[in-house]
Amino acid sequence: MATATTRSRTGSSAISASGACCISVPPSTPPARLKQRPGWRRPWRVERHVTLARLRPLAELLSVSVVRRLLPLSLCLSLSVLAGCASAPVPPPAPAHSDALWRVIERDCRNAQGPQGSCLQVDAAADRRDVLVKDSHGQFQYLLMPLDKVSGIESPGLYRKGVPNYFAAAWQARSHTEQALGRPLPREVASLALNSPHGRSQHQLHIHVDCLRADVLQALDAQQAALQTRWAPLPVPLRGHVYQARLLPGAALTANPLNLLAFDLSGPADVGNWSLLVAGHRDARGAPGFVLLATRLDTAAGNDASAEELQDHACSVVTGAGAALERVR
């Protein structure tokens, strides 16, 4: 079998294709007998050939020692990685055509001629910078999106000071849903939903503006006494999933719901695993406000953190449609 050989100034070593190895000292170096060391019965000798067989016991001893030292560290690192994965699910891969909404913005909203096609409105003011697009799924659904590239609820830039309140702009856009309905849209029926990256197909932030489902509206009415001005688990599941709820008083959406989610509930590092819905609300005295509903990713429970599941794109509460129109999965 052929042998590849490399040479150096100090000697030569050969590595064969079979993996055998030997280390030799140049022939010009004669065997040397060293002086007797104090406390030793035999002198040291430098032997001409050090074979693999003689090195193997030492290598095995070193291997066992290294393994014993590194095994606890490797186990610790493995457990740390597993713990991290349990608390922070890996974001899903981008689906095909996940930039379709961004292409609509570039084509129909960011052109010199003004809004065209499915783009209905553009607000380029510094405190807004948003667009409104008609969604093709359902007659009454609209999408409020940033004029700039923002992936979604998980984007860190959303939680910096001075960022526009996109939910406030989306709340104003409910007038388009009302116009499409051709009749008044009750405050408590209007809703805004923002899905997590695990429960959406598009990677441009978009808030679904549409109606609340009839069964969700009934559940919230029944749990009126449980709703508070701080986050707390809703006593009953919605669509089979656990939701956190809180009230926000006032007729206008002056507070940013995203900040209330990130800094009061989820924590900024975990916000990408959450989905948020904001719906109009009236308390027992009829005072206006909002109810915020948030749910976290739970793959074991079949929850992909898509609060849009609480919406009805047929707006059955107002139209009297026989069945709710579900979200596009």
What tens digit of pLDDT does each residue of 267-317 get? 999 999 999 999 999 999 999 999 999 999 999 999 999 999 999 999 999
pLDDT of residue 60: 55
pLDDT of residue 37: 45
Domain ranges for the chain: 100-319
pLDDT of residue 112: 74
Residue 67 pLDDT class (50, 70, 90 cuts) = very low
Q: In the predicted model, what is the mean pLDDT of residues 197-222?
A: 98
Instruction: State yes or no: pLDDT of 43 exceeds 60.
Output: no
Give the CA distances from residue 72 to residues 75, 79, 96, 212, 261, in Å, rounded to whole numbers and listed in that order.
5, 11, 43, 53, 39
Q: In the predicted model, what is the mean pLDDT of residues 153-176?
A: 97
Residue of 225 and 47 predicted with greater confidence: 225
Instruction: State yes or no: pLDDT of 164 exceeds 70.
Output: yes
Give the CA distances from residue 313 to residues 98, 104, 186, 190, in Å, rounded to whole numbers and listed in that order.
21, 21, 15, 11
pLDDT tens per residue across span 115-162: 999 999 999 999 999 999 999 999 999 999 999 999 999 999 999 999
The pTM of the full predicted model, rounded to 2 decimals, is 0.73
pLDDT tens per residue across span 84-108: 444 455 556 656 689 999 999 999 9
The whole-angstrom separation of Cα 227 and Cα 232 is: 8
Q: What percent of the chain has pLDDT over 70?
A: 71
pLDDT of residue 83: 41
The phi and psi torsions of 109 (rounded to 5 degrees) equal -115, -30
Q: Which residues contact 147 (CB under 8 A, 6 or more apart)?
A: 105, 109, 110, 122, 123, 124, 129, 130, 131
pLDDT of residue 328: 87
For domain 100-319, give the CATH number.
3.30.428.30
pLDDT of residue 97: 82
pLDDT tens per residue across span 9-36: 333 333 333 333 333 334 444 444 444 4
Going 23 to 24 to 26 to 29, the CA torsion angle's sign is positive
pLDDT of residue 113: 81
Mean pLDDT of the chain: 81
DSSP bridge partners of 50: 23
